[in-house]
Amino acid sequence: MDNLTVFTEFLLMDVTASPELQVLQGVLFLVIYLGALTGNLVTVTVIMTDTRLHSPMYFLIGNVSLLDLGSISVVVPKAVMNSLIGSKTISLPECAAQIFLYSSFGAAEFALLVVMCYDRYVAICHPLHYGLIITPSLCSQATAGSWASGLVYSAVHTGSLFRFPFTKTNVIQQYFCDIPQILRISSSDVQFSEFIVIAISICLILLCFSFMFMSYVNIFLNMLKMHSVEGRNKALSTCTPQLAILMLFVISGTIAVLGPIAKKPSLRNLLTAMFYSMVPPFVNPIIYCLRNSEINAALGRMFNRYSQFTVNGFF
């Protein structure tokens, strides 16, 4: 292959050799996407329509659901379409857009998880001052800052990755464009600049993790001191979903960044990519519905209103 070739499109991973298995893969991706779409839209809807959930914590949860919806929508529809029509290509602008949007949603979600951790720390460790510290304006500013930080981080990453033409190969061993695979086919100059960006990012992430770790330690120590069983259960029901989602986010992110970079198609590579790109957006609404009693109650009220409307409408 000529070293001066400038690629305008990439060839994506093809794990399934037969067209039938490709269609099956596309249907599987579609089912997961529709499940994530439904779960996150229901979460956002119930938070917006139920006045009892109009609080900073649920405002943040609603934004996390929107970010989950965005991150999976960036990746899966294109993969489903490619599987169903038998295509294996993605254009250079589409690839850059996937990386920009996916990393933007991921970085913004991590920033929101830090804000949510602080929100629970104040609510449980300093309940008398919660209304004075966590004001609606502060919550809106923190949310806007999270979205903005995701955009800035993603712009730096995407600009660094795509500032030079690709001349090594145009084959990506993945069903979507992700940073490790793009780094694999990038020049040494791009890899060095990305190494600096990633090193700075890791330092900031470790700082955030230290803050969240100390916050959750104080949260659980305060919960152990609570004399009221009802108060302890309520605090636990609002903290454990966030902690579970944080752990899922961390595990999937670690696999995505530190996992081995595939150099040839494999089922293991496909399943690993599915875990960190599809599982968190799909599972997060389930975690909230199973573990958060207030969202459970709000869902019950919403379904009761819908059933009464249906009965009155027909009879």
Please choose, from the candidates 249, 258, 203, the residue with its C-alpha nearest in 3D space to the C-alpha of residue 68: 249
For residues 105, 109, 110, 111, the Cα torsion angle rounded to the nearest 10 degrees is: 100
- Contact (CB, 8 A) for 170 and 9: yes
Q: What is the pLDDT of residue 82?
A: 84
Instruction: Record the tokens describing residue 173, joined without a space.
Output: 């061993």
Cα separation of the two ends of the chain: 71
Q: Under CATH, what is the fold of the domain 9-313?
A: Rhopdopsin 7-helix transmembrane proteins (1.20.1070)
Q: What is the pLDDT of residue 308?
A: 66
Q: What is the pLDDT of residue 30?
A: 93
Q: What is the pLDDT of residue 181?
A: 82
- More confident: 154 or 271: 154
Alpha-carbon span 61 to 92, nearest angstrom: 34
Beta bridge partners of 90: 10
Helix H or strand E encompassing 177: none
pLDDT tens track for 195-233? 888 888 888 888 998 999 999 999 888 888 887 777 787
Alpha-carbon span 81 to 171, nearest angstrom: 19
pLDDT tens track for 90-119? 888 888 899 999 999 999 999 999 999 999
Q: What is the pLDDT of residue 5?
A: 44
- Across the range 265-277, mean pLDDT stands at 77
pLDDT tens track for 148-195? 999 999 999 898 888 877 767 778 878 888 888 888 888 888 888 888
Q: What is the pLDDT of residue 7?
A: 60
Q: Residue ranges of the domains in the chain?
A: 9-313
Q: What is the pLDDT of residue 164?
A: 75
- Flag whether pLDDT at 124 surpasses 70: yes
| The model's pTM | 0.86
Q: What is the pLDDT of residue 2?
A: 39
- Across the range 38-55, mean pLDDT stands at 90
- Contact (CB, 8 A) for 83 and 23: yes
Please choose, from the candidates 295, 211, 202, the residue with its C-alpha nearest in 3D space to the C-alpha of residue 246: 211
Give how far Cα 252 sits from Cα of 51, 273, 277, 281, 293, Å.
33, 9, 8, 11, 26
- More confident: 17 or 5: 17
Give me the chain's average pLDDT, please: 83
